[in-house]
Amino acid sequence: MTHDNSARPDISTAHDPIYTAVDLHRRWRLLMEPLGFSEVLLWFTFIDADHLQAPALNQLPIPTSPDPFLSDILMSRLAETLAEMPDLSVALLLSRPGSDGVTDDDMAWARVLTDDAVRHGVTLHPIHRANDVELVPLTVATDSAA
């Protein structure tokens, strides 16, 4: 994983459609920069059939190491929401303090969230991770990318 030294996306792009993984990465950068976090959070938002992000950006405090029960409950609740609005998909970002690279815990969170999303029928976009110095996608082999 490398640092993205490009300029922060312009605020005027905040309502642009999200068509690609690159678009999603830019959106997360716009929402999260400047980087710097004091706790571990899982951020999530919905993206509709027109590729537009919902106005709400939700956050959930999570432990550093994956909690399979918490992941299962979250994906179960998201599945209930998507059952009522099937044209939605979900974008997730894990944020945490630190300046290290992607950790085993980061990847474990991505795997458990992805596995639970698949099991519950939740369509996910590529999961991202932000810390105090970088924002990167977490590639999981079983991603069911939207």
| Mean per-residue pLDDT over the chain, rounded | 92
Q: What is the pTM of this model?
A: 0.90
Average pLDDT (13-21) is 90
CA distances from 117 to 39, 40, 83, 98, 133 (A): 24, 20, 13, 27, 28
Q: How confident is the model at residue 15 (pLDDT cuts 50, 70, 90)?
A: confident
Query: Does 8 or 107 have the greater pLDDT score?
Result: 107
Residue with tokens 């996608």, as numbered in its chain: 137
What residues have CB less than 8 Å from 89, skipping those under 6 apart? 46, 47, 82, 123, 124, 125, 146
The reported pLDDT for the residue numbered 104 is 98
Q: Which CATH number fits domain 17-137: 3.40.50.1860, 3.40.50.720, 3.40.140.10, 3.40.50.300?
A: 3.40.140.10
